[in-house]
Amino acid sequence: DLSNPSDDTTNNQNECAVVSRSSTGGTFYNIILENVELRITRGSAALFSANSYNNHFENISIKDSIIKSTTSSGGYVGSLLGTGTNTYIKNVQALNLQMENMGNYSGGLAGFLQSNYTNPSLIENSFVELDLIINPLGCSRTSFGGILGYGYLGTVIKNSHTDGHIRQTSPNNCASNSSARSTSLGGIYGYSRHCLLLNSYSSLNINKGDDGNPTPGAAESDNCAGASGIGVASNVHRAA
């Protein structure tokens, strides 16, 4: 019951969302989520839709909310979507978003977003302010982005920006081995393939060092990007 503040925590769920676990062909418009906490174990998860296909999200505000993984196996997580295909996102803001112990493919708005050749997924006029902490219980985590963990096949982000932190505290014995530490961290995309980035920027601090403290600008090791916005890119077109 989202109207009852005492019931604003959802605990230890698999593939879940506060609003809709799976949605197709829907419109989500003029909605505010505030002070919600979602605790997950595994599978895709988000505050709005864990799995989205051909949906429209517009004028949505997510404020002072927390997504927390209670295991080391969570992945495909975002504040708006876990995974999405042919999805349109406009005028969405996530403010003071906390994402804790995140697994692979996690982003401020979506974990994974893809298009088909006739109907591209688009994120525009959106802003994310987050503190994303990578799960310290395993090595070789991948694809963490301020807006999108992994963008694929024609996904477009334009007129959007991010602020805050993406960081990793010492993952047991991984921190001393640079090849075992997390890769593909970006201020906008974590990992992107055949995507487009237009008139967008990031002020995120990114760090995956031993102390977990954020470092301004580009991150400290391979496949990371701060202000440049993309951790790992393949066939990405970027324009001012």
Q: Rounded to two decimals, what is the model's pTM? A: 0.82
Block mean pLDDT (10 aa), the chain, length 240: 43 74 94 94 89 96 94 82 96 97 91 88 97 75 91 93 86 53 84 91 79 39 41 49
Per-residue CA distances from 50 to 75, 84, 117, 131, 228 (Å): 11, 8, 23, 20, 28
192 three-state secondary structure? strand
Quick one: DSSP state of residue 2?
T
Give the per-residue pLDDT at 184: 85
Give the per-residue pLDDT at 198: 94
Give the per-residue pLDDT at 181: 58
